[in-house]
Amino acid sequence: MTTLPTTELFGLDNLPYGIASKPGHAPHVVARLRDHAIDLAGLAADAGGDAWIDAWSQSTLNSFVAQGRPSWRAARAWLRDTLRDESRAEVVAARLHPLTEVTLHLPIAVADYVDFYASEQHATNVGRIFRPDGAALTPNWKHLPIGYHGRAGTVVVSGTDIVRPCGQRKAPTDAEPTFGPSIRLDIEAELGFVVGGDTAIGTRVGVDEAADHLFGVGLFNDWSARDIQAWEYVPLGPFLGKSFASSLAAWITPMDALSAARTAAPQQDPQPLPYLRGEDRFGLDIDIEVELGGTVISRPPYSTTYWSPTQMLAHLTVNGACLRTGDLFASGTVSGTEADQRGSLLELTWSGKEPLQLADGSTRSFLEDGDVVTLRATAPGTDGGRIGLGEVTGRILPART
Amino acid sequence: MTTLPTTELFGLDNLPYGIASKPGHAPHVVARLRDHAIDLAGLAADAGGDAWIDAWSQSTLNSFVAQGRPSWRAARAWLRDTLRDESRAEVVAARLHPLTEVTLHLPIAVADYVDFYASEQHATNVGRIFRPDGAALTPNWKHLPIGYHGRAGTVVVSGTDIVRPCGQRKAPTDAEPTFGPSIRLDIEAELGFVVGGDTAIGTRVGVDEAADHLFGVGLFNDWSARDIQAWEYVPLGPFLGKSFASSLAAWITPMDALSAARTAAPQQDPQPLPYLRGEDRFGLDIDIEVELGGTVISRPPYSTTYWSPTQMLAHLTVNGACLRTGDLFASGTVSGTEADQRGSLLELTWSGKEPLQLADGSTRSFLEDGDVVTLRATAPGTDGGRIGLGEVTGRILPART
């Protein structure tokens, strides 16, 4: 079972944002305080947060995220002050709803979704598995953060069931491809970064400007059908092996709640081209855990990730591609250097050759129907303790054949 | 110069949809009749088209497209009847605006954008150029319509200037990558298909149901920076070599206007897996022409495209990926079997080795700053003549370094 406490991680130094509804009411913006959702538009109306009432009355975070970093910071300061203000205790209490009484929704309307491949250890593991006799990393890997666009319309909120996808697969030894349910269904433990603030097409966001566009972070599980992916991905990249579903946490932790989690970015050798350098290159000391069937099977450390989120955003826009509020980019699978820090079953079982043993005595090479996978994470908070990222969880349903 | 007439192609058997505005007024839905835009919400209010007034008052086609095929067909029948009704001639005339007096906008809010690779001749040419000693087609090519997700947020309307992208490139003979403006900037002549009607995640749209979700077609130029693409695309596919901009025509031709253009789909050998078979597999007899700097440099025939639009849509959803109104999928570069039917400069100049001669005496391997590229196309209409697809055009601006 999880080693993480469940509620103290969501105190005043955290306050992640989400979207919640009660039966018969429209979804709107909330913040999480311990085991409660704060109705933010209501609180703002009662306690002087007029600047955010409209944005917090919406059914996604996008309007709020569009307001930009000065507004995000002012809102967070206002919220923390209000929650600490004993004279407002009754006003606050009236706007708290137990999490057990609300439904959580996808926090953002995703504009474009990009998945990167930013963990050196993950890319190395994948290279060793698929190209045992070649170089583990492709020649471009240390020169640019490799990424590709995924399907924005199938990003789902934590808790959504995942139907096992069907598709074509062909092992190298098969004469012809066959069709059916994926038999190598996998997870990828990632962080998803929510982007705010539109930019103009033809312009760039540099490494040192990127943080102005980073609203927050959510745990992200990029479900992957390895057999479908292996057959389809040459030459244009992953498509149906990924596009059936990707799960995003219901809670987006503001970057400002992670200021104490900032770490020095890993040294980069060779030094990348100038547009990927910059002062604001950082890692995040976020410890992830992956639970499958009640067993923690891995603890990937995000701090080891080679490419900084600010480098990913700078790379994404260096060709003039514009940003839109609601863009989501994910880190790619996070894998540490140790065997029990790998962020995918592909790596944890070395392509199925070394099955995992779960606490109930069963073994897994890849996911079985009924399996529940949950990602959790903690990081240093600004008030001296640790804060939690909202979990992302999903259960595998049988394929619809 | 173009060989196509410019106005007779947009008669009563065509009536493509778009979004237009006059100075000081909000954009809304129009149809094109010869050299005029019809204010559809206004005409609907005056002439009994009540069912569509709301949808046609919007600033994108999405609300109308969301109504589904029965509504698209009823609207088209109503519009054709109204335009033919002599008793309504004055009502109609009051709602016609010369195209010279309106600004055209991106016709749809693009949800997800997917680019396919459906032309056998294009894939063969690319394979011969990049792998001269290997098989031209990858082993999967005839088993599934290869595709990948592109950037929805950088789909721009015809007429938008294209800033030459910067990025990393590394020739095989270079020791290190360098950064700078793309020096192998290319076009891809494609058709873009606009999707309507949301589906549920976990469900599929079969080949024979796909036409219910095909609203219409627009010419599409998938600008491509070949040098950036070549360095980045292994192993996860094209990214910044494509994501700087893709141009969509301002006019979306309804599929019902193309019923006479339907042709037998090319025979497929080997026969694909059952989910890619179906009765409603068709080609489209659409003749494209590519004009560069005033010279028609190619005439790609869409009818030769190997994978049918209905197969592409069935493949896209076979893993349970949902559709959203506003999804856009493009065919990939259309290339015929003849040398002057190739849909990209990469193929037309055989990777720059055989430069093209333009009418002004200059030559081109790839695009130069100031170049204007225009795609036009015609197809058999339902009334015996030919109809036009709205052009897609763009001018290359110098890189912003």
* Residues of A whose CB is below 8 A from B198: none
Which string of DSSP letters, residue by residue, matches B171-219? -TT-SS-EEEE-SSEE--EEEEEEE-S---TT----TTTGGGGEEEEEE
Residue A79: pLDDT above 90? yes
- The pLDDT, as a whole number, for residue B401 is 79
Domain ranges of chain B: 17-105, 113-397
DSSP B319: T
Instruction: Write down the number of H helices and E strands in chain A.
Output: 9, 26
Query: How does pLDDT run across B311-343, given as a tens digit for each residue?
Result: 999 999 999 999 999 999 999 999 999 999 999
Q: Categorize the per-residue pLDDT at B7 as very low, low, confident or very high, splitting at 50, 70 and 90.
A: low
Amino acid at A292: L
pLDDT at A1: 42
The DSSP annotation for B206-270 comes to: -TTTGGGGEEEEEEEE--EEHHHHHHH-TTT--STTTTT-EEE-S-BEEGGGGGGGEEEPPP-SS
**From B28, B36, B122, B213, the catalytic residue:** B122
| Residue whose pair of structure tokens reads 């037998």 in the numeric block | B264
For chain A, give the percent of residues with pLDDT over 90: 95
Does B168 contact A144 at a Cβ distance shorter than 8 Å? Answer: yes
**Tokens representing residue B90 in the block:** 């004055």
Judging contacts by C-beta atoms under 8 Å, the chain A residues touching residue B240 are: 315-316, 318-319, 321
What span, in angstroms and rounded, lies between the C-alpha atoms of B199 and B196? 9
Taking 50 as the threshold, does the pLDDT of residue B4 lie above it?
no
Q: How confident is the model at residue B232 (pLDDT cuts 50, 70, 90)?
A: very high
Q: How confident is the model at residue A7 (pLDDT cuts 50, 70, 90)?
A: low
- What is the mean pLDDT of the segment spanning B371-390? 96
Question: From B241, which residue of chain A is nearest by alpha-carbon distance?
Answer: A319
- pLDDT beyond 60 at B11: yes
A161 φ, ψ to 5°? -65, 150
Length of chain B, please?
401
Residue (of A172, A162, A212, A158) closest to A323 by Cα position: A212
Q: In A310-385, which ranges are E strands?
A: 328-330, 356-357, 363-364, 372-380
Task: For residue range A133-192, list pLDDT tens digits in order.
Answer: 889 999 999 999 999 999 999 999 999 999 999 999 998 899 999 999 999 999 999 999
B163 → closest Cβ in A149, A273, A320: A320
Architecture of the domain whose range is A17-105: Roll (2.30)
Active site residue A97: no
H/E stretch holding B314 = helix B309-317
Task: Please give the pLDDT value at position A131.
Answer: 86
3-state secondary structure of A70: helix
Instruction: Establish if A250 touches chain B: CB-CB under 8 angstroms.
Output: no
Find residues 128-167 of chain A whose CB sits inside 8 Å of chain B.
Answer: 138-140, 143-144, 146-154, 156, 163, 165-167
Q: What is the percent of chain B where pLDDT is above 70?
A: 98
Residue B272 to chain A, least CA–CA distance (Å): 10
Give the pLDDT score at B144.
98
A-proximal residues of B, 170-189, CB under 8 Å:
170, 176-179
How far CA B62 is from CA of A124, A322, B95, B217, B399, in Å, comes to 43, 22, 22, 14, 33
The mean pLDDT value of chain A amounts to 96
Count Cβ neighbours within 10 Å for each residue of B183-222 and write b for 16 or more, e otherwise. bbbbbbbbbbbbbbbbbebbebbbbebbebbbbbbbbbbb
Q: Per CATH, is B113-397 categorized as 3.40.50.300?
A: no
- b or e along A252-286 (b: 16 or more beta carbons within 10 Å of the residue's beta carbon)? bbbbbbbebbbeebeebeeebbebbebebbbbbbb
Q: Which two tokens stand for residue B192?
A: 């873009």
DSSP A57: T
Report CA A333 to chain centroid distance, whole Å.
10
B residues 68-87 closer than 8 Å to A (CB): none
pLDDT at B219: 99
Q: Residues of chain A with pLDDT > 70: what percent?
A: 98
**B147-161 core/surface letters (b: 16 or more CB in 10 A; e: else):** bbbbbbbbbbbbbbe
Contact (CB<8Å) A201/B324:
no
Point out the catalytic residue in the list A122, A143, A213, A315.
A122
Contact criterion met (CB below 8 Å) for A12 and A33: yes
Q: Where are the beta strands (DSSP E) in B25-117?
A: 28-33, 36-39, 96-98, 103-105, 113-116
B233 is in an annotated binding site: yes
Is B153 close to A243, i.e. CB distance below 8 A?
no
- Residue A216 vs residues A43, A109, A251, B401: alpha-carbon distances, Å: 22, 14, 10, 30
CA B163 – CA B369 distance, rounded (Å): 9
Q: How many Å lie between the alpha carbon of B54 and the closest alpha carbon of chain A?
A: 22
Give A98→chain B minimum CA distance, Å: 29
Q: What's the pLDDT score for residue B1? A: 43
CA A195, A196, A200, A206 torsion-angle sign: negative
Identify the band that residue A8 occupies on the pLDDT scale cut at 50, 70 and 90. Answer: confident
Task: Please check the confidence at residue B2 and state whether its pLDDT lies above 90.
Answer: no
CB contact under 8 Å between B319 and A170, yes or no, is no
Q: Which of B241, B253, B223 is nearest to B160 (CA)?
A: B223
On the question of pLDDT at A96 being above 80, the answer is yes
The ipTM, to two decimals, is: 0.97
What is the structure's pLDDT at A201?
98
Q: How far is B174 from chain A (nearest CA, A)?
A: 12
| Whether A336 contacts A121, CB under 8 Å | yes
Instruction: Give the closest of A143, A240, A243 to B177, CB-based.
Output: A143
The predicted pLDDT at position B130 comes to 87
Tokens for A216, please give them.
């927050």
pLDDT at B5: 52
Region A374-394: mean pLDDT is 96
Within 8 A by CB and 6+ apart from A367, the residues are A185, A186, A187, A292, A345, A373, A396
Q: Smallest Cβ distance to B140: which of A152, A154, A231?
A: A231
Cα gap B138→B56, rounded to integer Å: 45
Distance of CA A353 to the CA centre of its chain: 28
pLDDT score, position A2: 46
Tell me what pLDDT residue A130 has.
87
Name, in order, each residue with C-beta under 8 angstroms of B56's C-beta and a sequence gap of 6 or more: B28, B29, B40, B41, B44, B49, B64
Tokens of B62: 């999405």
- pLDDT of B342 reads 98
Cis? peptide before A235, omega within 30° of 0: yes
pLDDT value of position B131:
86
Region B263-288 average pLDDT: 96
B33 part of contact set with chain A, CB < 8 Å: no
- Are the beta carbons of B235 and A233 separated by less than 8 Å? yes
Determine contact: A336 vs chain B, CB below 8 A: no
